[in-house]
Amino acid sequence: MASGAGAGARAVVLGGGFAGILAAGALAPHVGAVTVLDRDDLPHTPAHRRGLPQDRHPHFLGPGGADLVEHLLPGALAALWGAGARRIRTNEDLLLYCSAGGWLPRYRTDRAGVACSRALLDHVLRERVTAAGGVEFRTRCEPVGLLGDAAAVTGVRYRDHDGGTHWLTADLVVDATGRASRAPGWLAALGVPGPRTQVVDAGHAYATRVFRARPGTETTAPLVLIQAETGAGRPSGNAALVPIEDGQWIVTVGGMRGTRAPADGAEFLDYARHGVGTPLLADLLADAEPLTGILRSHSTCNRRHRFDRVRRWPRGFVAVGDAATALNPVYGQGLTVAARCARALRTWIGDDAVDTRRLQRAVGRAGVLPWEVATRQDRRFPNTVGPALRAHDRLAHRYADRVMRTAQHRPAVGARLIDAMFLAAPALTRLGDPRVLAAAARRVPGPLSAPPLTERERALLTGGRL
């Protein structure tokens, strides 16, 4: 199971997106060379690329993920702030409408996440990794298979922009190709038994549009998250407004199976007002200037390849990020899971002989808690494809709803809820805290129905309409 690592080893990372960038950065100090293969011609400035369609939709790197990125790439957060990314203090700069109904109050905190376009995020981090040395990005190179046999992966086959097929040997191959990963098929071709694949699909569909920030809010607008309510007769939709660089807002609205994502401007604004549990977003957008058309997506199912349970795991191969555990993006945890995977790589790669079976299990553990959070919530919605809810799931839902309602009146509980939500601390440790349990057991007042805007925000964001 051991794979050679150390000063003379070569690692090949498949995929030059966020997960691949962090994987390369984690490996570089411990191996001789890292080569990253990506099928796109990676841009030299923050720009959309064809191989990453999700980069046009909102992304938020929560506090847990931001801390890990800074640990892996020191100075990365300062570089992001300098490039225009917004520093979002949770919960001070966050307006959160809870799935249990009602708004979470705002309070001062030292936790912070990163709000910016995915194009800017990847560009800044790729520059950091490249500048640190030891990493080569090869563009317009599409991985098409693995070299080796069932006992060991020894490299990768890839196709270049002219259609020619080439081979690249490696001591370690890391698959960071995302949801589109073909690792199960590649491994099967080598004789490795296929992993069991778990799917929970709520049929979430959403639409995204970019707006110009209202004057005076270019660097101060809060992040707005509106969760789908689950306690009403029918689930409401969800929405997000993420303030990003260059004085822009990237806004998304959507809902679960049976919901039609809006296709034009009128439908978008109508959904923002009537399709979610609060009209705040519609008021924010009432006279905002749209900068783009509307882009829709249905690529939202939760899918986990149980590579960590394959008994005959080959030496020299590991799958990370969405290639192993892909989550419904509505929960905003995918970037943090990728960062947790990179931390696992950094932890294990320091050994001269890396047991890649144990490494893959460590990567699997990085996604366990986010998987449980995302799938347990998605399974609450009608027509979700996946395992039926069990008694302990329903008990967990009731407790989570009660914690959310309690958090609206007790900031200490709210702080623990936010930490768990953004993976800044283990959810069970935070939400199972005796003080949280005691607070949730008390009588809980009704939900906070009014958004906790400051007077300045009320004037600038809504033109005084609220």
Query: 374-401, pLDDT tens digit by residue?
Result: 999 999 888 899 998 888 888 888 888 8
Among 51-65, 113-127, 129-143, 423-437, which is the least confidently predicted range? 423-437
pLDDT at 325 over 60: yes
Query: 182-240, pLDDT tens digit by residue?
Result: 999 999 999 999 999 999 999 999 999 999 999 988 999 999 999 998 765 566 799 99
**Do residues 86 and 244 lie in contact, with contact meaning Cβ atoms separated by under 8 Å?**
yes
What DSSP state is assigned to residue 140?
A: S
**Three-class secondary structure assignment of 406-421:** HHCCCHHHHHHHHHHH
**Three-class secondary structure assignment of 331-396:** HCCHHHHHHHHHHHHHHHHCCCEEEHHHHHHHHHHHCHHHHHHHHHHHCCCCCCECCCCCHHHHHH
pLDDT at 329: 94
pLDDT at 464: 55
The residues, ordered by sequence, that sit 6+ positions from 189 with a Cβ below 8 Å of its Cβ are: 145, 146
Q: In angstroms, how far is CA 315 from the centroid of its own chain? A: 28
pLDDT at 59: 96
pLDDT at 439 over 70: no
- 2-53+119-199+300-373: what fold? FAD/NAD(P)-binding domain (3.50.50)
Q: In angstroms, how far is CA 410 from the centroid of its own chain? A: 28
**DSSP-based three-state secondary structure for 150:** coil
**Do residues 26 and 125 lie in contact, with contact meaning Cβ atoms separated by under 8 Å?**
no
d(Cα 37, Cα 35) in Å, to the nearest integer?
6
Tokens coding 409? 């009146």
pLDDT at 123: 98
Q: How confident is the model at residue 463 (pLDDT cuts 50, 70, 90)?
A: low
Please state the domain extents for the chain: 2-53+119-199+300-373
At residue 345, what is the residue type?
L
pLDDT at 444 over 80: no
Highest mean pLDDT among 244-248, 260-264, 414-418: 244-248
End-to-end CA distance of the chain: 62
**DSSP-based three-state secondary structure for 327:** coil
d(Cα 412, Cα 393) in Å, to the nearest integer?
25
pLDDT at 414 over 90: no
Q: How confident is the model at residue 131 (pLDDT cuts 50, 70, 90)?
A: very high
d(Cα 228, Cα 101) in Å, to the nearest integer?
9
What are phi and psi for residue 156, nearest 5 degrees? -140, 145
pLDDT at 341: 97
Q: How confident is the model at residue 160 (pLDDT cuts 50, 70, 90)?
A: very high
Q: How confident is the model at residue 465 (pLDDT cuts 50, 70, 90)?
A: low
pLDDT at 462: 66
d(Cα 305, Cα 339) in Å, to the nearest integer?
18
**DSSP-based three-state secondary structure for 77:** helix
pLDDT at 133: 95
Among 123-127, 144-148, 220-224, 351-355, which is the least confidently predicted range? 351-355
**Do residues 231 and 401 lie in contact, with contact meaning Cβ atoms separated by under 8 Å?**
yes
Query: 29-55, pLDDT tens digit by residue?
Result: 999 999 999 999 999 999 998 888 789
Q: In angstroms, how far is CA 38 from the centroid of its own chain? A: 20
Percent over 90 (pLDDT), the chain: 70
Torsion of CA 456, 457, 462, 463, to 10 degrees: 20
Average pLDDT of the chain is 91
Tokens coding 156? 């990768």
How would you classify the pairing of strands 238-244 and 223-226? antiparallel
d(Cα 161, Cα 42) in Å, to the nearest integer?
13
The residue written with tokens 């097929």 in the block is: 165
